[in-house]
Structure 1
């Protein structure tokens, strides 16, 4: 058996690569079934791709006429029925099957920092710069404001049924909370601002990471800490998180081109590699926007370089 160490990338080149944004992307997301991607870019606005055929399905527009209006965050529902997109000032709901818009909302005070969507597009979660997180029931228009944070929100997530949310902010705190009552279920404290939170779609785990280098996996049923990620560095800012279907590993992408596979039980990094940066005369970086598990034991990534790439899932010890 070959032992994989964290000091050397397990793979240098992707199995395949597809360009979806010629000049690079401002945001990107891959559906959990690895069949669709949504990309925000300067030339095409929002592009929706069928990853099985590598064809563009739709072009969507969300006020792409000024730099302030560029879509900077995207979320696809777990069942790939709907997409939520947002720029700094407004958010839009799209039907992924029909390609049609199902709603458009403007935020009047503060700016949008992060978003999440439930299955069916029934519930939307909006994290804002004024320390509030808004949970919206689309059918009834009911809005619940979570007021637990004291400073700017950096990251939000929500279970596919829309009943449990997670948020992290500049107040060094991550909260798991009930979206019907607004009551806190768990409070996870950090020693610096919380930069990323994530929930396992099957309701088993939660993840929170801060701006120094602490990153934790929590048991969502008990609130107890399962592990702390080992060997993280201060500049390793996590930009995306996906838990494996079998619940044994977690995949992260970072703002440093880095994709890592982690053992949930121990927090050990089992493997890592780097996505392809944009072609340029000088070396450039790339932010990993999204990762997903493909059908063929591979992993898909989308990054700010505008590429979707397929990678072999490493043999784990």
Structure 2
């Protein structure tokens, strides 16, 4: 099944952990919030008022309470209950690379091109700068309770660190730049992937490797990653229409799907921005083609 969420194609999207909501940034129609399967959006957001929409990063809190949107210069916090904005902040010194938000919108994580990562609490105004990275940060994630951040950058390292103290808990090293990181919402696993061919699942408690994703391609880039609730599977999206399902225990590939491409683009292609498991055993994807698609899979 599929639903059109954007006419001209999308810049960015995120799907809630439970696969029920999607926030999609369209090239020509701003940012829209959708309940997957419904024909009309719940909310329409203008990130910086009127004019061109340039939102390139979106994250929905694990409890579906809040979403954060960002362009290169500013980020905004939105209530998913009311659809109203709760804050807008501009960043001066370096462009924004990625954003993440905790449960209840209590903490926001912002990655920047100068290597700094900011943890910010909108309601208390508390702010902590993480200075562990030496080069630009490409991907971040945060635990639902806001206590732990996972960040990966061009310095070939991903760090798991405490947002209370800024102290590093585990370092995960790679042979090339780290392009994607993801935390399991239940606090069991971390996923880190580089720009070549090392994609690793780690035990968050011990910092030890659990498995390495097994594939034959010389390089594989990931655009999103999500662990299943039972901790048995990892779902990933790619820039080349592909969605893969992996076995967490041994890193083997269980399934793969190909999302619809944009017909107006030659060669036909699409970036998979968001992937999620739904409670009924299906999988949902959101891509640059502007389509939400639901897939069956046999456990």
Note whether the superposition's TM-score is higher than 0.5: yes
CA distance in 2, matches of 1:30, 1:60: 16
Flag the structure with more relative contact order, 1 or 2, with Cα contacts below 8 A and sequence separation at least 6: 1
Instruction: State yes or no: 1:50 paired with 2:63.
Output: no
Alignment correspondent of 1:59: 44
1:46-195 aligned at under 5 Å gives the runs 46-63=31-48, 70-195=54-179
CA distance in 2, matches of 1:130, 1:66: 27
3-state SS in 2 of match to 1:120:
helix
Unaligned 5+ runs, structure 1: 1-15
Contact 1:25 1:42 in 2 (8 A): yes
- CA deviations 1:227-272 (Å, max 9, x no partner) are 1111153442100000001111100001111100101110111111
1:18-57 aligned at under 5 Å gives the runs 18-57=3-42
Instruction: State yes or no: 1:272 paired with 2:256.
Output: yes
CA distance in 1, matches of 2:39, 2:125: 36
CA distance in 2, matches of 1:254, 1:37: 18
Alignment correspondent of 1:300: 284
1:66 positional shift: 5.7
CA distance in 2, matches of 1:185, 1:285: 39
CA distance in 1, matches of 2:236, 2:120: 28
Contact 1:28 1:39 in 2 (8 A): yes
Contact 2:3 2:37 in 1 (8 A): no
CA distance in 2, matches of 1:186, 1:291: 26
In the superposition, the TM-score normalised over structure 2's length comes to 0.97
Name segments (4+ residues, structure 1) moved above 3 Å.
Answer: 64-67
Contact 1:113 1:154 in 2 (8 A): yes
Unaligned 5+ runs, structure 2: none
Residues matched between the structures, number: 299
Instruction: State yes or no: 1:289 paired with 2:264.
Output: no
1:187 positional shift: 0.3
Alignment correspondent of 1:17: 2
1:280 positional shift: 2.5
Contact 1:74 1:86 in 2 (8 A): yes
3-state SS in 2 of match to 1:56:
coil
Alignment correspondent of 2:210: 226
1:53 positional shift: 2.9
Contact 1:159 1:203 in 2 (8 A): yes
- CA deviations 1:170-196 (Å, max 9, x no partner) are 000000000000000000110100000
